[in-house]
Amino acid sequence: MRAVLIGNYGVGNLGDEALKEYFLKRFPDVKWSVLSANPQEGEFHRLPAGLRSLMRPWWRTLRVLRKSEGVVFGGGSLFTDTESVYACLLWWWHAFVARLFGKQLHLAFQGIGPFRTRLGEACARWVVKRAASISVRDTHSFNRIAGWEKNTKVVQTGDPVIVLIQAENTGGSSKNVLIIIPRHNSNERFIKRAQDLSQEYQWDEIHTLSLQPEDSGEQNVCQRMSEVCSGEGQVRCVYTLEGLSREVMEGSFILTQRYHGALAAIVLGKEYEVLEQKEGDKLSSLRGSRREILVQLVQEGEKSLRGAILE
């Protein structure tokens, strides 16, 4: 089976790279061609969606699409315009070209919505209608598309990265440590909550984890976190799931606006608080979640995708 794997890969985001790792590891029978914003060896550029991307060898991607047997949109919240409607347009464009080649579309472990614009929702509806298989990673997404036109059953699953996070640990820290995990665009509400937490309790240490360290916006947010925490916060750059697990294991309490930061806290049994960017987004679906249930849901999603592309 030859398949093209599409996601928000190559932008330096730990969570997205972990999703790519999941598909490559758990589906070894599939010959994957990965599309990336910054392709590594053996990967391919995304299709052009602007002037700069026209200068890249996107024609190789067309060749890969033509030779493939299907396209998998692998994990993440690709079809949402919470940050920008451009994201919905970008992924719709890839789905549109794949359909021109007559390829099946598979939405795997997707977060769909919320939407601010009609255009963003229209792009998502177009893809959902034409998908050969659909699995969504949270209840909000499942309910959101329940009334949409589609040609297949929707499977409610979870985020597959949870099966890659190791629950075993070596003890953690004896110190009272506050862990803060922001996004590159974390708002004042999140920053204020971090400040309040830093002042409400006697923390031995405060660690701000950057899961997208090369992003200038995230660098600025992390610097701001250090300032509002009275200059006591340490900024720690995290590049791998193993590194994230180690850092979270040191924490006594986790405040996160990163989905995979919350997943790590759940797996490692840490007390945590999520602060979503918008009501009904992916983070709110994790409140009160249990590892065992999430893993079971992921297994069901994996079985569904395997049946759709390999059987």
Whether residues 81 and 123 fall in one domain = yes
Q: Is residue 274 part of a domain?
A: no
Whether residues 130 and 29 fall in one domain = yes
Whether residues 60 and 154 fall in one domain = yes
Whether residues 213 and 302 fall in one domain = no
Task: Give the number of other CB atoms < 10 A from CB of residue 11.
Answer: 14
Cβ 246 vs Cβ 172: under 8 Å: no
Specify the CATH number for the domain of residue 305: 3.40.50.2000
Q: Is residue 283 part of a domain?
A: no
User: Looking at residue 287, what is its pLDDT?
Assistant: 85
Q: Is residue 19 part of a domain?
A: yes
Burial class (CB in 10 A: 0-12, 13-18, 19+), 97: middle
Whether residues 9 and 154 fall in one domain = yes
Cβ 71 vs Cβ 4: under 8 Å: yes
Specify the CATH number for the domain of residue 245: 3.40.50.720
pLDDT of the chain along its 311 residues, tens only?
Answer: 999 999 999 999 999 999 999 999 999 999 999 999 999 999 999 999 877 777 788 999 999 999 999 999 999 999 999 999 999 999 999 999 999 999 999 999 999 999 999 999 999 999 999 999 999 999 999 999 999 999 999 999 999 999 999 865 555 678 999 999 999 999 999 999 999 999 999 999 999 999 999 999 999 999 999 899 877 789 999 999 999 999 999 999 999 999 999 999 999 999 999 998 877 777 888 888 899 999 999 999 999 999 999 97
Q: Is residue 300 part of a domain?
A: yes
- 194 is in which domain, residue-wise? 177-267
Cβ 160 vs Cβ 75: under 8 Å: yes
Whether residues 194 and 150 fall in one domain = no
User: Looking at residue 36, what is its pLDDT?
Assistant: 97
User: Looking at residue 233, what is its pLDDT?
Assistant: 81
Whether residues 108 and 76 fall in one domain = yes
Whether residues 114 and 7 fall in one domain = yes
User: Looking at residue 167, what is its pLDDT?
Assistant: 67
Q: Is residue 221 part of a domain?
A: yes
Q: Is residue 228 part of a domain?
A: yes
**What's the length of the chain?**
311
Question: What does the alpha-carbon distance between residue 162 and residue 8 come to, in Å, rounded to a whole number?
Answer: 18
250, amino acid identity: E
User: Looking at residue 23, what is its pLDDT?
Assistant: 98
Sign of CA dihedral 213, 226, 177, 258: negative
Question: What does the alpha-carbon distance between residue 110 and residue 290 come to, in Å, rounded to a whole number?
Answer: 19
Whether residues 7 and 145 fall in one domain = yes
Burial class (CB in 10 A: 0-12, 13-18, 19+), 175: exposed
User: Looking at residue 53, what is its pLDDT?
Assistant: 73
Question: What does the alpha-carbon distance between residue 54 and residue 47 come to, in Å, rounded to a whole number?
Answer: 8
Whether residues 109 and 183 fall in one domain = no
Q: Is residue 279 part of a domain?
A: no
Whether residues 247 and 302 fall in one domain = no
Q: Is residue 205 part of a domain?
A: yes
Per the structure, how many domains does the chain have? 2
Contacts of 110 (CB under 8 A, 6+ apart): 73, 75, 76, 77, 78, 79, 134, 135, 136, 137, 141
pTM above 0.85, yes or no: yes
Whether residues 117 and 193 fall in one domain = no
CB contact burial 134-173 (16+ within 10 A = b; e otherwise) = bbbbbebbbebbeeeebeeebbbbbbbbbbbbeeeeeebe
